[in-house]
Homo-oligomer: A and B are copies of this chain.
Amino acid sequence: MLDALFKPKAVALIGASTKELSIGNVIIRNLQTYGYKGEIYPVNAKADEVCGLKSYPTIADIPGEVDLAHIIIPSQFVPQAIEECGQKGVKAVIINSAGFSEMGDEGIRLQEEFLANARKYGIRVFGPNCQGIINSDPELNAYCNFTFTFPKPGSISVVALSGGVGALIMQVLDDLDIGQRLYASNGNACDVSIPEIIQYYGEDEKTKAIILYTEGFDKPREFLEVAREVTAKKPILAMKAGRTEEGAKAASSHTGSLAGVDIATELIFEKIGVLPFHDEGEMVRAAMAFSSQPIPTGNRVGIITNTGGPAVIATDVLIDFNLEVPKLGEASIARLRDTQFPQA
């Protein structure tokens, strides 16, 4: 269960900072701005106060329970921080810091070391080298993330390996004035995986449509099983970048995804009921339709228009997608005739 991650009652920030625009400062301000309903505990050995909140020298000094901790300190100190989180009883961590498997041998060693500590205490790790999560539920308002788009509550949940594309998707949703339910961008994804997050979204009652952006699958079998189960309940709209050989190379230098040249993914998507997209704007607009409209029961689309050209374009597009454009029924035509000018 990922409740400690998506529904944290108290968040600690190991590496809280008084320096404006630093990540250890921005996340606290984001939690405050978004109106987070839980406790916020900055951990900073040198400051008494961060963003108007009492700061603690170590996580052990925090008086209350902590279920989620952000880790925002240089990579070499992360294994020790996870050890201290374990002693405190922290259930999940979001490691925003970079400098792990994406950075060569020393990074891989550090990642293995902190993972061993996390497993010893049963701590779930989100990241490293990641943004974090958002839960827009007005009862919680958890903005555990350093981005800058504040979603209003909605029913579309987003999971994006790449924070850059995730932020873009959030912005498109926001530009369309569409709310969002849960958001997760998990970077290197060393523990909490995309299939796990999709399963969690599948079980979340208020999520009506799921948007997925990924550059590869570490555990393809797990993804297939989870996705097949979830698409039976709600639509998954997905974009897998790194489709071309060159794109796959770019993906590999980005998140270290093990993406080979990939012509099969979209066929697999269709087989398990995942809807594939090549364009994030189109994907978001489709999700908007799924979250606000009933799922169509057939392939017939009527067009009513007050100007001809756009209807001709729409007809072409519908036919390209194997949809039908039937003549409107007699009753609809009669009703339009009664209410419109004769030239229409």
Q: Which residues of A contact B (CB under 8 A)?
A: 98-99, 103, 160-168, 213, 215, 239, 241-247, 249-251, 253-255, 278, 280, 303, 305-313, 315-320, 325, 343
Q: Are A312 and B250 in contact (CB under 8 A)?
A: yes
Complex: how many Å from CA A311 to CA B249?
A: 11
Report which of B215, B313, B316 forms a contact with A309, defined as CB distance below 8 A. Answer: B215
9 CB contacts below 8 A, A to B, read A162-B312, A165-B310, A213-B309, A242-B316, A244-B319, A246-B315, A247-B315, A251-B312, A254-B308
Given the complex, which residues of B lie within 8 Å of A103, measured CB to CB?
343
Q: How many protomers of this protein does the assembly include?
A: 2
Given the complex, which residues of B lie within 8 Å of A243, measured CB to CB?
316
Q: Are B315 and A162 in contact (CB under 8 A)?
A: no
Closest 5 CB pairs of A and B: A162-B309, A164-B307, A254-B308, A165-B309, A244-B319
Q: Are B162 and A307 in contact (CB under 8 A)?
A: yes
Given the interface pairs A98-B343, A247-B319, A308-B255, the reply to whether A241 lies near B313 with Cβ below 8 Å is: yes
Given the complex, which residues of B lie within 8 Å of A317, measured CB to CB?
278
Given the complex, which residues of B lie within 8 Å of A161, measured CB to CB?
309
Q: Are A312 and B99 in contact (CB under 8 A)?
A: no
Complex: how many Å from CA A280 to CA B164?
A: 27
Report which of B241, B311, B315, B316 forms a contact with A312, defined as CB distance below 8 A. Answer: B241
Closest B residue to A99 using CB positions: B343
Given the complex, which residues of B lie within 8 Å of A98, measured CB to CB?
343
Complex: how many Å from CA A162 to CA B242?
A: 39
- Most chain B beta-carbon neighbours within 10 Å: one of A162, A241, A319: A241
Given the complex, which residues of B lie within 8 Å of A160, measured CB to CB?
309
Complex: how many Å from CA A167 to CA B306?
A: 13
CB distance from A325 to the nearest CB of B (A): 5
Q: A163-B307, A164-B307, A247-B319 are in contact. List 12 more A-B contacts (CB 8 A).
A: A99-B343, A162-B308, A164-B309, A165-B309, A168-B309, A239-B313, A241-B312, A242-B312, A246-B316, A250-B308, A250-B315, A251-B312
Given the complex, which residues of B lie within 8 Å of A247, measured CB to CB?
312-313, 315-316, 319
Given the complex, which residues of B lie within 8 Å of A306, measured CB to CB?
164
